[in-house]
Chain A
């Protein structure tokens, strides 16, 4: 199976672990990823916050490049990029169609949030066939954040208040996804740089609840959520007067562990909060 792939800027940098795990599992599952040639930044929060025209035009440029590719599906791992591309894809039928001078190709591929792609019935079956090390004993909460689901008229999500994609993926791998109430509560995203105090409040609340429901780890599909929950865990813990030790895995990394892809250790070694002890304790990773 061949698909169009739009990795987005952070997967070339701070989210290398996410990028490597996606490439790793896709090659094991015979999914060939072909990058949109010469893709550009989607503009992210910065563009839609202070330059709306640019936020649409940036995404339209990438979409038009993607339209020239022969594949039906385009996988987008970053929920922020996904959200911006979806927003732009709705331009021809939306309120902005006459406002900006935008020509959007008609033959766009289907834009997939990566977690939703892996949670389709077909993909769950494909992955299930490859599982070699079921995630038995691993109890996690799935944290979806904002952009893959909201607003639903853009994302076309139907279960936006209680999304299920990652929960299904984890159960399919033999793990336990514990229900919890903060699946779609915001982590503060880029405010980690400009207002770290806000992020401390928002993320501390997530850790607290994850622990209360008995989760051993948090699973995410967004590199911004991963960064905020993983990189600042010790600092936020100190600010809350608590000690949290909750590894924050990308769902793709857990698929990689379960289907036993080479390179898992390398991906995980890029994390800040210790991702190994828990897995070793559950015999999901050897003790070398």
Chain B
């Protein structure tokens, strides 16, 4: 079933190993890199939004406290 006689045959790709593997490695690398970058940027975004929400909550509670103290 398998066309190649040996691993070195497979890696040599006739005389075209450089071109075939040069294509394969770059394509594989980019298709692995893209989802990794997406996962990372999603994590950073979620962390940023959570910080922002906490800060807003804190702001609101300090404002409430301040206004309560003023009214006393």
> Are both chains from one complex?
no
Binding site for B on A (CB under 8 A): none
Binding site for A on B (CB under 8 A): none
